[in-house]
């Protein structure tokens, strides 16, 4: 769990039921040119794997279900253009240039780095996951998923997930990659602006495996527990490992993640300390507000055991007092939710402070109504 410090602009909303793909033209666009708020579940999206795109093909597949009905039969090129215009709002020109350079950087690594554990680069569920997790995913019911998941604090899910063998393989691969980086004097990008140690797994070939992890295993859980933030429509990810200890990062400050849903799994090794501390989920408007007693929770890592929480669930890492801890992080994102969020009304259902504000206004309204009725009743008697 790593991410951005608690500094974010507030979200503004229009709540108009449809989402424009361009604010400048929103006033003149007809409804048929806007995204739907709800997906067309019967529509089978096209494949975009063979195209050179600015975004992952899975993003386009996911977003296609939200196209207006009259566009579903359009050519693939027309659909790509429409969706690309929406997605590029999140990637200004300067960012697009940076993204292109990052793709070139990633390709340079992949063309020179020789993987140590090639079985990691393909998804092998039976050897990756513990049997209880596999059974729950295969049964694919809300009941089966709830049977393996604990919720020790509101919005913090924990469950047994990874087999020890997988943890060992991934740690070995990361150490091999770091040795290659040191030997070749290759300068790598760290996972985020807060962690000085660790590596981006997508950068050296594990992107496809992690994409399958998100789509096949994290999305079914998020669909049940985190639907209100687009958990059913996760379509892109950022996968990395972080390392804590005397010779690595020691702790991590209070922050939120750039994700809708964050998966955090301890891989090992031997360590003490390093607990996660949670302090409640907040929207942009309330990100720096105080925490309520029921939102305060500390979690101690156990190798192979996963923690799943909203990216906007404020958290941090206490100091690792001894040893070396390595964790796998997967930030899962929903382009649909990010588009729709800009048009939401006040009172986000997933923000603790918004919920309290809504309840406060409801109580005030009820009290005012009751007072007015009593006044009218008194006048009637008089």
pLDDT in tens, 14-24: 222 333 334 33
Between residues 211 and 378, which one has the greater pLDDT? Answer: 211
pLDDT category of residue 74 using cuts at 50, 70 and 90: very high
Judged against a pLDDT cut of 60, whether residue 7 lies above it is answered with no
Judged against a pLDDT cut of 70, whether residue 211 lies above it is answered with yes
Residue 18's contacts (CB-CB under 8 Å, 6 or more residues apart) are: 31, 34, 35, 36, 37
User: Residue 156, exposed/middle/buried by CB under 10 A (0-12, 13-18, 19+)?
Assistant: buried
The helix (run of H) or strand (run of E) holding residue 160 is strand 156-160
Could you tell me the two tokens for 143? Answer: 């009941």
Query: Three-class SS of residue 307?
Result: strand
Tell me whether the omega of the peptide bond preceding residue 269 falls within 30 degrees of 0, making it cis: yes
Judged against a pLDDT cut of 90, whether residue 324 lies above it is answered with yes
Judged against a pLDDT cut of 60, whether residue 9 lies above it is answered with no
Query: Three-class SS of residue 260?
Result: coil
Give the least confident one: 47-56, 148-157, 200-209: 47-56
Average pLDDT on 320-344 reads 88
- Report the candidate in 246, 229, 238 with the shortest Cα–Cα distance to residue 339: 229
Cβ atoms of residues 66 and 36 within 8 Å = yes
What is residue 48's predicted lDDT score, i.e. its pLDDT? 86
What is residue 300's predicted lDDT score, i.e. its pLDDT? 96
Give the span between the Cα atoms of 227 and 36, in whole angstroms. 17
Alpha-carbon distances, residue 37 vs 129, 191, 227 (angstroms) = 35, 32, 13
User: Helices 57-64 and 76-87, interaxial angle, to 10°?
Assistant: 100
What is residue 316's predicted lDDT score, i.e. its pLDDT? 94
Average pLDDT on 140-149 reads 96
What is residue 95's predicted lDDT score, i.e. its pLDDT? 63
pLDDT category of residue 8 using cuts at 50, 70 and 90: very low
Pick the CATH number of 117-342 from 1.50.10.20, 2.70.98.70, 2.60.120.620, 3.40.50.880: 2.60.120.620
Q: Which of 57-66, 78-87, 156-165, 276-285 has the highest mean pLDDT?
A: 156-165
Give the span between the Cα atoms of 185 and 189, in whole angstroms. 13
pLDDT category of residue 382 using cuts at 50, 70 and 90: low
- 242 - beta bridge partners? 327
Average pLDDT on 171-199 reads 92
% helix / strand / coil in the chain, to the nearest 5?
45, 20, 35
What is residue 312's predicted lDDT score, i.e. its pLDDT? 94
Give the least confident one: 6-20, 48-62, 143-157, 184-198: 6-20
What is residue 10's predicted lDDT score, i.e. its pLDDT? 29
Condensed to tens digits (0 to 9), the pLDDT of residues 230-265 reads 899 999 999 999 999 998 999 898 899 999 999 999
Judged against a pLDDT cut of 70, whether residue 87 lies above it is answered with yes
Domain ranges of the chain: 117-342
What is residue 25's predicted lDDT score, i.e. its pLDDT? 36
Give the least confident one: 41-45, 187-191, 377-381: 377-381
- Report the candidate in 190, 192, 185, 128 with the shortest Cα–Cα distance to residue 161: 128
Judged against a pLDDT cut of 80, whether residue 27 lies above it is answered with no
pLDDT category of residue 174 using cuts at 50, 70 and 90: very high
User: What is the DSSP code string of 15-42?
Assistant: --SSB-S-GGGTTT--GGGSB-SS--TT
Between residues 157 and 342, which one has the greater pLDDT? Answer: 157
In the DSSP assignment, the letter for residue 162 is: B
pTM listed for this prediction: 0.72
Cβ atoms of residues 330 and 315 within 8 Å = no
Average pLDDT taken over every residue of the chain? 85
Cβ atoms of residues 205 and 121 within 8 Å = yes
Residue 241's contacts (CB-CB under 8 Å, 6 or more residues apart) are: 170, 174, 191, 198, 199, 201, 267, 326, 327, 328, 329
As a residue count, the chain comes to: 382
What is residue 22's predicted lDDT score, i.e. its pLDDT? 40
Task: Using a pLDDT cut of 70, give the percent of the chain over it.
Answer: 87
Cite the beta strand spans of 220-343 per DSSP E: 236-245, 252-256, 261-268, 271-273, 276-281, 296-299, 305-310, 313-317, 320-333
């Amino acid at each position: 769990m790593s991410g951005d410090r608690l500094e974010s602009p507030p979200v503004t909303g229009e709540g108009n039921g449809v989402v424009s793909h361009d604010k400048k033209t929103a006033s003149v666009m007809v409804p048929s040119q806007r995204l739907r708020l709800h997906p067309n579940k019967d529509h089978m999206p096209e494949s975009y794997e063979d195209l050179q795109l600015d975004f992952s093909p899975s993003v386009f597949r996911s977003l296609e279900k939200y196209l207006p009905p009259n566009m579903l039969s359009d050519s693939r090129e027309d659909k790509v253009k429409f969706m690309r215009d929406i997605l590029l709002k999140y990637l200004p020109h300067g960012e697009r240039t940076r993204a292109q350079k990052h793709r070139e950087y990633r390709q340079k690594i992949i063309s020179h780095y020789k993987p140590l554990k090639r079985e990691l680069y393909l998804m092998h569920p039976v050897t990756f996951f513990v049997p209880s997790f596999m059974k729950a995913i295969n049964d694919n019911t809300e009941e089966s998923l709830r049977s393996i998941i604990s919720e020790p604090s509101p919005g913090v899910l924990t469950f047994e997930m990874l087999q020890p063998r997988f943890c060992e393989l991934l740690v070995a691969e990361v150490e091999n990659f770091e040795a290659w980086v040191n030997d070749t004097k290759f300068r790598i990008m760290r996972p985020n602006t807060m962690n000085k140690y660790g590596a981006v797994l997508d950068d050296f070939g594990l992107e496809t495996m992690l994409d399958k992890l998100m789509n096949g295993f994290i999305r079914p859980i998020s669909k049940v527990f985190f639907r209100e933030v687009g958990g059913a429509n996760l379509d892109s990810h950022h996968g990395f490992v972080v390392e804590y200890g005397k010779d690595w990062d020691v702790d991590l400050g209070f922050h939120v993640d750039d994700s809708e849903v964050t998966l955090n799994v301890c891989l090992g090794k031997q360590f003490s300390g390093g607990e996660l501390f949670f302090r409640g989920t907040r929207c942009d408007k309330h990100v720096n507000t105080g925490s309520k007693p029921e939102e305060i929770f500390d979690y101690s890592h156990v190798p192979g055991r996963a923690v799943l929480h909203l990216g906007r669930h404020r958290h941090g890492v206490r100091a690792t007092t001894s040893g070396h801890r390595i964790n796998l992080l997967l930030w899962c994102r929903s382009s649909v939710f990010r588009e729709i969020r800009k048009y939401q009304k006040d009172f986000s259902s997933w923000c603790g402070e918004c919920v309290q504000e809504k309840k406060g206004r409801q109580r005030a309204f009820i009290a005012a109504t009751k007072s007015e009725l009593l006044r009218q009743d008194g006048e009637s008697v008089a």
